[in-house]
Amino acid sequence: MRNWKLTVAYDGTDFSGWQIQPGQATIQGELQAALGRVTGERPLPQGSGRTDAGVHALGQVASFVLEAAIPAESLRRALNRTLPAAIRVLSAKEAAEGFHARHSAVAKTYEYRVFLEKTTGGETLCPPFLARYVYAYPWPLDVERLNAAAQHFVGTHDFLSFAASDPDAAAREDARPDGEAEGRATAIRTVFASAWEERGIEEGALAVYRVRGNGFLHHMVRNLVGTMLDVGRGYSEAGEIPGMLAARSRAAAGPTAPARGLFLHSVEYSS
Amino acid sequence: MRNWKLTVAYDGTDFSGWQIQPGQATIQGELQAALGRVTGERPLPQGSGRTDAGVHALGQVASFVLEAAIPAESLRRALNRTLPAAIRVLSAKEAAEGFHARHSAVAKTYEYRVFLEKTTGGETLCPPFLARYVYAYPWPLDVERLNAAAQHFVGTHDFLSFAASDPDAAAREDARPDGEAEGRATAIRTVFASAWEERGIEEGALAVYRVRGNGFLHHMVRNLVGTMLDVGRGYSEAGEIPGMLAARSRAAAGPTAPARGLFLHSVEYSS
């Protein structure tokens, strides 16, 4: 019995999210099937959190237990030979007993990428090769205004206004603070860092948001981004955000940004 | 009656190539349908050449005639509002009478992108976000050897050994030399430039091939690339290429590189 830790990147566009579902292509399902082909065992890999349909990962972490002893490099190579090109195992390592990709996580970082349009004609000129990986936002954005909004999220807050409005939104959080009981329905999370930067690329420029925290509610990053984009285009003001947090109501905050711009960047563990 | 010139970029992955075919998603078909929705007219846009299924374009050119008078910016914006995100109209311009995207072309440039693997374990570590747009070549490549091979293609040659082996390969060329009669079955083409360069990217490095010529046979660039990659990995020698050209036989040359790495970069016109 060995405990394993995989770091995985994926293009989520053509998958129905992380979580395994019958008859659907999912990241968890593809990994389980690949483990079955390579090892003959079919453990269900546990992710650091679920990602929704269309959400990508640069460094998702998954854990599982295998009976067989396999050299780590051999496992990674064999998995990459059999997985679809849209999923890559970046590293495979044996983990300490008791390591669990979700329960052991102490911080996660998400990235959201917005293509800064050069056109104002209601069209998007976003290059087709980027379209799956960015939000081609159809209005001009002021990155200073985005950052004025972003700073309001730093610290420990009740993020209920930014959680998906489904009844078990808090229970469906992506990662829970260390030591918190499973399924405890609180929307209080700590955001350690929250900032935008403009990133020049060959085809123009992106506005890239990075947020690092001890846990995120379902849809939380997309709701933070949708709200900040309203500020960035001048439709609302950064100063309204403390009131949105205080309202503890989804209706108080802005829209949900599309999945395609969102990347699970990395997951941190204490050891 | 106005003659139009569109410059178009597309991600060819999810299309059955440029040429319209019943019941299939094609670039030409999507453009015709978009023109129909925007103008009420349905001219069939003529491309500078066909691109195969999975081949991309950074600057394909298409021409067509419209009865209605429409400002060029309005046409471009309206087309981009209705086209799928995988197809973008980069520019729309009125063209001189008689301009034809294929017949008027004097030179075309293709680009082929290879991801340089850092692994030698038979797997590919190509990032999932690049996998649709590069050939993740599973062996180490020597870019100097690639360039030694590439220089043999510069000049006027009979490229029959590098044409698809279907009977009408020469007739199915992508662009014909200025003044050459339609459908004339010759495989003689002039390559003006042919070279590889290594291009650093965030996730590693690409080997990028650029070839500029007065016309290209069906599959010609992919066959040139497949042959050069054999040289780049040390499986054959650059010095064998003149003999391959002289053989005038598809069997004399190397394999066909996959469509996904190929981009129609640009098309040149005399005026």
A105/A214 Cα distance (integer angstroms): 8
Helix (H) / strand (E) containing A74: helix A72-82
At how many degrees (to 10) do helices B72-82 and B27-39 cross? 120
- Predicted confidence at residue B167, as pLDDT, reads 54
Write out the CATH class of domain A105-269: alpha beta
- Predicted confidence at residue A44, as pLDDT, reads 97
Specify whether the CB–CB gap between A248 and A228 falls below 8 A. Answer: no
Mean pLDDT, residues B237-261 taken together: 97
pLDDT > 90? residue B168: no
Q: Do B85 and A131 touch (CB under 8 A)?
A: yes
Residues in chain A with CB shorter than 8 Å from the CB of B72 are none
Shortest distance, CA A23 to any CA of chain B (angstroms): 22
- Predicted confidence at residue A178, as pLDDT, reads 41
Question: Of A198-207, B32-41, B102-111, where does mean pLDDT reach its minimum?
Answer: A198-207
Confidence of residue B2 (pLDDT cuts 50, 70, 90): very high
Q: Do B133 and A133 touch (CB under 8 A)?
A: no
pLDDT > 60? residue B61: yes
pLDDT > 50? residue A215: yes
Q: Which two tokens stand for residue B123?
A: 């797997």
Mean pLDDT, residues A214-225 taken together: 97
Nearest in space to A245 (alpha carbons), one of A184, A156, A178:
A156
Q: Do A128 and B9 touch (CB under 8 A)?
A: yes
Alpha helices in chain B (DSSP H): 27-39, 72-82, 143-150, 220-232, 241-247
- Chain A residues contacting B via beta carbons under 8 Å: 9-11, 56, 73, 76-81, 85-88, 90, 119, 121-129, 131-133, 136
| DSSP state, residue B96 | -
0.95 surpassed by pTM? no
Q: Which residue has the higher pLDDT, B179 or B198?
A: B198
- Predicted confidence at residue A176, as pLDDT, reads 46
Mean of the per-residue pLDDT values for chain B? 92
Name the amino acid, one letter, at A22. Answer: P
A88: nearest CB among B73, B121, B128:
B128
A81: nearest CB among B86, B123, B127:
B123
Confidence of residue A75 (pLDDT cuts 50, 70, 90): very high
Shortest distance, CA A104 to any CA of chain B (angstroms): 26
Q: Does domain B2-95 correspond to CATH entry 2.170.190.11?
A: no
Helix (H) / strand (E) containing B264: strand B262-269
At how many degrees (to 10) do helices A27-39 and A72-82 cross? 120
Question: Of A34-48, B134-148, B151-165, B180-194, where does mean pLDDT reach its minimum?
Answer: B180-194
Helix (H) / strand (E) containing B141: none
- Predicted confidence at residue B180, as pLDDT, reads 44
pLDDT exceeding 70 applies to what percent of chain A?
Answer: 92
List of residues 6+ apart from B103 with CB closer than 8 A? none
Express each pLDDT in A5-29 by its tens digit: 999 999 999 999 999 999 999 999 9
Confidence of residue B31 (pLDDT cuts 50, 70, 90): very high
Confidence of residue B133 (pLDDT cuts 50, 70, 90): very high
Tell the residue number behind the tokens 């003006």, with chain if given.
B192
| DSSP state, residue A86 | T
Express each pLDDT in A133-192 by its tens digit: 999 998 899 999 999 999 999 999 999 999 998 655 544 545 444 444 444 569 999 999
Shortest distance, CA A180 to any CA of chain B (angstroms): 34
Q: What are phi and psi of A262, to 5 degrees?
A: -95, 130
List of residues 6+ apart from A86 with CB closer than 8 A? A10, A11, A13, A14, A15, B128, B131
* Count of CB atoms situated within 10 Å of the CB of B207: 26
Question: Is B158 known to be catalytic?
Answer: no
B77: nearest CB among A76, A123, A129:
A123
Q: Do A9 and B77 touch (CB under 8 A)?
A: no
Residue of A nearest to B123 (CA): A81
> Which residue among B11, B52, B168, B178 is the active-site one?
B52
| DSSP state, residue A253 | S
**Rg from Cα positions in chain A:** 19
Shortest distance, CA A127 to any CA of chain B (angstroms): 7
| DSSP state, residue A256 | P
A124: nearest CB among B80, B90, B125:
B80
Tell the residue number behind the tokens 């394993």, with chain if given.
A4
Mean pLDDT, residues A87-92 taken together: 97
Nearest in space to B61 (alpha carbons), one of B29, B26, B100:
B100
Express each pLDDT in B176-194 by its tens digit: 444 444 455 699 999 999 9
Maximum Cα interatomic distance, chain B, rounded to a whole number of Å: 60
In chain B, CATH 3.30.70.580 covers: 2-95
Q: Which residue has the higher pLDDT, B118 or B63?
A: B63
- Predicted confidence at residue A203, as pLDDT, reads 80
Q: What are phi and psi of A162, to 5 degrees?
A: -110, 10
